[in-house]
């Protein structure tokens, strides 16, 4: 989305932005390490890892600016769009207030996708899992032995298995963005780095600090991701190496695969380079997103920043 101007940027203090960046960096680490430990984890499970970190924070006052930052998560659950594609898994909502009074809201939508390892497949959830229940998880009479070591790897040829060129979902996301003028982004769950190797059951210690995770969760604008898909034959599942944009960075070896999750939220959305701002609660696009029965999201992360009264001389 177009830059919204320096006036809006100045309303969010730097210490609040730095705090949110730190929290989302931890969330990125948790989701990334979950994928590294459990290569067949569903996207929903990885989303939950992000939510779990955010839920631990609680309202926090910034010592410098006096701004209070509160992060809340809301899981709507069970609202899979069985007859049509969903638009986004997560809505990131920024709410800026001063002493409780609303100043503006801002929204960016994330569609989650996860990278598949070469050796261990992912059993995707089906309509029956949502309509019937979880019985199939415990009804299986035989499974692959857990006592036999299984090795897995992530390479540049690995694919985002729940994504393909020319699908109804790609069209639905494009049409929704045009109709509602709300930007959609892809949130790609990746291992700590590529190439990456692991084994089940786990026998070695995995890296756990952000400095040991040069790749992790990355975010791309939907138009950029779709442009990469358009280069592939219809119905082709994209490889990691194919989902790139023309960006280079001396300090980020994977910059062409998108923003890190924490950089996207703090430096792009909060600094007003990405997302859409809403001044009025009556905006028809906002109403359709948040209140329509068939709203196109499964969950929401709401970041509320409450500014203190300005100091007077």
- Please state the rounded mean pLDDT for residues 282-296: 76
* Residues of the domain holding 35: 6-120+149-307
Domain tally, the chain: 1
- Domain assignment of residue 41, yes or no: yes
Instruction: Assign 241 a pLDDT band (cuts: 50, 70, 90).
Output: very high
For residue 1, the model assigns a pLDDT of 40
- Domain assignment of residue 126, yes or no: no
Q: Are 36 and 191 in contact (CB under 8 A)?
A: yes
- Domain assignment of residue 203, yes or no: yes
Task: Say if residue 130's pLDDT is above 60.
Answer: no
Both tokens assigned to 246: 């023309």
- Nearest 5°: the CA angle 154, 75, 229 is 40
Distance, CA of 191 to CA of 313 (rounded, Å): 52
Instruction: Assign 131 a pLDDT band (cuts: 50, 70, 90).
Output: low
Q: Return the half-sphere exposure (C-beta side, CA atoms, 13 A cut-off) of residue 7.
A: 3
Q: Which range, 121-125, 224-228, 270-274, is most confident? A: 224-228
| 77 vs 179: which has the higher pLDDT | 179
Q: Are 182 and 285 in contact (CB under 8 A)?
A: yes
- Please state the rounded mean pLDDT for residues 52-81: 88
For residue 204, the model assigns a pLDDT of 62
Q: What is the CA radius of gyration of the chain?
A: 20
- Please state the rounded mean pLDDT for residues 145-172: 90
For residue 19, the model assigns a pLDDT of 98
- Please state the rounded mean pLDDT for residues 170-184: 93
Average pLDDT score over the chain: 86
Q: Which of 149-153, 175-179, 191-195, 286-290 has the lowest mean pLDDT?
A: 286-290
- Please state the rounded mean pLDDT for residues 31-48: 93
For residue 279, the model assigns a pLDDT of 80
Instruction: Assign 171 a pLDDT band (cuts: 50, 70, 90).
Output: very high
Distance, CA of 38 to CA of 55 (rounded, Å): 22
Percent of the chain with pLDDT over 70: 81
- Domain assignment of residue 125, yes or no: no
For residue 153, the model assigns a pLDDT of 96
Give the chain as a 3 state SS string: CCCCCHHHHCCCCHHHHHHHHHHHHHHHHHHHHHHHHCCCCCHHHHHHHHHHHHHCCCCEECCCCCCEEEEEEEECCCCCCCCCCCCEEEEEEEEEEECCEEEEEEEEEEEEEECCCCCCCCCCCCHHHHHCCCHHHHHCCCCCCCCCCEEEEECCCCECCCCCCCCHHHHHHHHHHHHHCCCEEEEEECCCCCCEEEEECCCCCCCCCHHHCCCCCEEEEHHHHHHHHHCCCCCCCCEHHHCCCCCCCCCCCCHHHCEEHHHHHHHHHCCCCCCEEECCCCCHHHHHHHHCCCCCEEEEEEEEEEECCCCCC
Q: Which of 106-120, 144-158, 213-227 has the lowest mean pLDDT?
A: 144-158
- Domain assignment of residue 206, yes or no: yes
- Domain assignment of residue 140, yes or no: no
- Domain assignment of residue 243, yes or no: yes
For residue 212, the model assigns a pLDDT of 79
Q: How far is CA 258 from CA 139, 174, 285, in A?
A: 40, 19, 27
Task: Say if residue 213's pLDDT is above 60.
Answer: yes
- Domain assignment of residue 103, yes or no: yes
Both tokens assigned to 194: 């590529």
Instruction: Assign 201 a pLDDT band (cuts: 50, 70, 90).
Output: confident
């Amino acid at each position: 989305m177009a830059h919204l101007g320096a006036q809006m940027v100045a309303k969010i203090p730097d210490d609040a932005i730095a705090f949110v960046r730190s929290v989302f960096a931890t969330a990125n680490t948790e989701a990334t390490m979950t994928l590294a430990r459990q290569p067949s984890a569903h996207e929903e499970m990885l989303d939950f890892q992000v939510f779990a970190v955010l839920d631990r924070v609680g309202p926090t006052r910034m010592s410098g600016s006096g701004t209070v930052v509160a992060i809340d998560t809301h899981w709507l659950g069970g609202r899979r769009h069985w007859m049509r594609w969903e638009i986004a898994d997560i809505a990131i909502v920024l709410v800026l207030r001063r002493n409780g009074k609303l100043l503006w809201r801002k929204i960016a939508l994330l569609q989650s996708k996860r990278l598949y390892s070469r050796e261990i497949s992912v059993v995707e959830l089906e309509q029956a899992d949502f309509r019937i229940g979880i019985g199939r998880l415990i009804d299986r009479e035989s499974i692959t032995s857990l006592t036999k070591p299984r090795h897995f790897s992530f390479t540049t040829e690995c694919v985002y298995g729940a994504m393909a060129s020319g699908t109804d979902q790609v069209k639905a996301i494009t049409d929704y963005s045009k109709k509602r003028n709300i930007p959609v982004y892809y949130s790609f769950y990746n291992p700590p780095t590529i190439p990456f190797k692991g084994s089940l059951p786990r026998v070695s210690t995995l890296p756990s600090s952000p400095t040991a995770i040069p790749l992790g969760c990355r975010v791309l604008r939907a138009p950029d991701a779709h442009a990469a898909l358009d280069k592939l034959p219809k119905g082709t599942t994209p490889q990691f190496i194919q989902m790139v944009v023309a960006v280079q960075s001396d300090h980020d070896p994977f910059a062409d695969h998108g923003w890190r999750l924490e950089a996207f939220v703090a430096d792009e959305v909060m600094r007003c380079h990405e997302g859409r701002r809403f001044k009025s609660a009556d905006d028809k696009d906002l109403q359709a997103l948040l209140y329509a029965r068939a709203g196109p999201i499964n969950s929401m992360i709401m970041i509320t920043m409450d500014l203190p009264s300005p100091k007077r001389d």
